[in-house]
Amino acid sequence: MMNWLIGRKSKLTIENKLLLYKAIIKPIWSYGIQIWGCAKPSDTQIIQRIQSKTVRIIFNAPWYVSNKTLHKDSRIPFVEDEIIRMTNRYLLNLTGHSNEQVNQLLVPPEARRRLHRQWPTDVLK
């Protein structure tokens, strides 16, 4: 990590540390966030822990300050909230798209298939 820039001994201001977080670190973990809705909660919790540790380091916060307080004061949303926000934004962009194939992504499949796969008949011939 960039501990030498955002760590406790860094001489940067909190505003500059937050700017570094938002410009460098957040784009790394939020890449492809629109499809994280189907990710396991344990996977998103790993990223949440890293994010909370980074915010704690930026603010040089003691252990007894809660993560909820840190995120509220820094105006940095939790990972789960960011997943929901970006997914909704992605779906909103899909709804008005001019390409018909993109619009078909919003239509749910007719039948749910779990373990039994149904292959199209023209592929098997």
Domain that residue 66 falls in:
3-96
| CA–CA dist 121, 87 (Å, integer) | 34
- Look over the chain and give the mean of its residue pLDDT values, rounded to a whole number: 81
Asked whether residue 125 is domain-assigned, the answer is: no
pLDDT of residue 97: 80
3-state secondary structure of 115: coil
pLDDT of residue 67: 92
Asked whether residue 92 is domain-assigned, the answer is: yes
Greatest Cα-to-Cα distance within the chain, rounded to the nearest angstrom: 69
Asked whether residue 115 is domain-assigned, the answer is: no
* Confidence grade of residue 49 (pLDDT, cut at 50, 70, 90): very high
Q: What are 54-112's pLDDT values in tens digits? A: 999 988 889 899 999 999 998 999 998 988 888 888 888 888 788 888 777 777 767 66
Q: Which whole number is the average pLDDT over 1-28?
A: 83
pLDDT of residue 72: 92
pLDDT of residue 31: 86
User: Does the pTM exceed 0.85?
Assistant: no
pLDDT of residue 66: 93
| CA–CA dist 94, 124 (Å, integer) | 33
Asked whether residue 102 is domain-assigned, the answer is: no
24 Cβ contact partners less than 8 Å away, ≥ 6 residues apart: 2
Asked whether residue 105 is domain-assigned, the answer is: no
Distances (CA, A) of 54 to 8, 57, 67: 11, 5, 11
Q: What is the DSSP letter of 116?
A: -
- Does residue 28 register a pLDDT over 70? yes
Q: How many structural domains are present in the chain?
A: 1
- Does residue 2 register a pLDDT over 60? yes
